[in-house]
Copies of this chain bind each other. A is one copy, B any other.
Amino acid sequence: MTGIRFVTHARDGAARTGVLHTPRGDIRTPAFMPVGTAGTVKAMLPEMVRQAGADIVLGNTYHLMLRPGAKRVAKLGGLHEFMQWPRPILTDSGGFQVMSLSGLRELTEDGVTFQSHIDGSKHHLTPERSIEIQSDLGSDIIMVLDECTPFPATEDQAKSSMNLSMRWAERSKAAFGSRDSQALFGIVQGGVYGDLRRQSAEQLISIGFDGYAVGGLAVGEGQDLMFDVLDQTLPHLPADKPRYLMGVGKPGDIVGAVERGVDMFDCVLPTRSGRNGQAFTRNGTINLRNARHAEDSRPLDVESDCPAARDYSRAYLHHLVKSKEILASILLTWNNLAYYQSLMAGLRAAISDERLHEYVSEIKALWQAGDIALQ
């Protein structure tokens, strides 16, 4: 019996809101997890991440295993202590970034061999090794190693990839065993093929996990197809366990996935966009590079609780972006994280009040009236 406990407080259609209780703190769902790749949510102090409203952050196993190394993090007291984030941390398995970032890879039944993008050193990642690394990091929510099926893939390719992921899921569960204070999430694969997704969900359920992620989406298939796959996948997942849509996404993606019953999200978009001069607001996205902001004394959002959104003019932010000042990254990242968290808070409240449909219509109307739609 794990120390992680998921309680659903309210439902509205397929959407639900609740709390994922963990020994390190509660995660209000639907939840957005800022990405803290290399032991830091880029350009943020931990207290800014918290002030923005985050209950949990995500750490990337691939980056941390290469630098500073999981054993070193363990020796230094674990990732929470290392990065001064005392609340829950979810770590990915490392697999996705091996595929997207590392050099020379070889995938076998046993695992994946790859070269570090930092120093070219050779590494081997297996389901068991990924569990070990994530355990060394002290992760609260550990993900199984899987193969993220590329898009596009034929049904045969998707099937054989999914089957490998399911065998790895079984090995991951065996390596994880039974733990009191950490959770293990399985990952549904199967590409865009509903039948494969259902098979994958059923196999994971028979292994038994503390939560179920949907992987292999947001890889170029587009929002419509992503929602289709969710529609064909989520009904096969147990209602009493948290559901995590990996690597998603734009605000419109998140809203649609929440409507379909997803509880957890992570994405680099708010942080990466912030470093690129883009601000997310209730009224759409704003590209601060644009010269039309140069004399705009309005803040990004006067009604926001976030100092970055409320206290600085767009003209100043434009100036900082143009001048390549670090403060531009700080303020825009902070604003974006606060926007994402306020979106999640709004969705949670709307589900509680059983007015999710109206709420979504309201926020989408604001997006459309704004600079660039967030859908």
Q: Identify the A interface with B (CB < 8 A).
A: 38-40, 42-45, 67-68, 72, 75-77, 82-84, 275, 294-295, 297, 307, 311-313, 315-316, 318-320, 322-323, 325-327, 329-331
Contacts and interface: CB of A to CB of B under 8 A. Distances in A.
A68 B325 contact: no
A316 B39 contact: yes
A247 B43 CA distance: 28
A349 to B, nearest CB: 29
Contacts of A38: 319, 323, 325
Contact of A43 (B44, B82, B316, B327): B327
Given A72-B294, A295-B76, A326 B326 contact: yes
Given A83-B316, A325-B40, A68 B330 contact: no
Contact of A297 (B67, B76, B312, B316): B76
25 contacts: A38-B323, A39-B320, A39-B323, A42-B325, A42-B326, A43-B326, A43-B330, A44-B327, A45-B307, A45-B327, A45-B331, A67-B319, A67-B322, A68-B294, A68-B315, A68-B322, A72-B294, A72-B315, A76-B295, A76-B297, A76-B316, A77-B297, A82-B316, A82-B319, A83-B316
The 7 closest A-B pairs by CB, nearest first: A43-B326, A40-B327, A68-B319, A38-B323, A40-B325, A76-B315, A82-B316
Contacts of A316: 39, 76, 82-84
Given A72-B295, A82-B313, A295-B72, A330 B319 contact: no
A327 B329 CA distance: 11
A165 B325 CA distance: 33
A77 B298 CA distance: 12
B320 A40 contact: yes
A319 B39 CA distance: 9
Nearest to A311: B84
A320 B37 CA distance: 11
B295 A45 contact: no
A295 B82 CA distance: 11
A275 B42 CA distance: 15
A369 to B, nearest CB: 26
A295 B39 CA distance: 15
Contact of A313 (B45, B76, B325): B76
A44 B325 CA distance: 10
Contacts of A75: 295
Contacts of A322: 67-68
A49 to B, nearest CB: 11
A74 to B, nearest CB: 11
A323 B76 CA distance: 17
A171 to B, nearest CB: 30
A292 to B, nearest CB: 14
A323 B45 contact: no
Nearest to A296: B76
A297 B78 CA distance: 12
A313 to B, nearest CB: 6
Contact of A84 (B40, B312, B318): B312
A84 B319 CA distance: 14
A106 B139 CA distance: 62
Most buried by B among A40, A275, A312, A315: A40
A22 B178 CA distance: 65
A192 to B, nearest CB: 36
A78 to B, nearest CB: 12
A286 B77 CA distance: 23
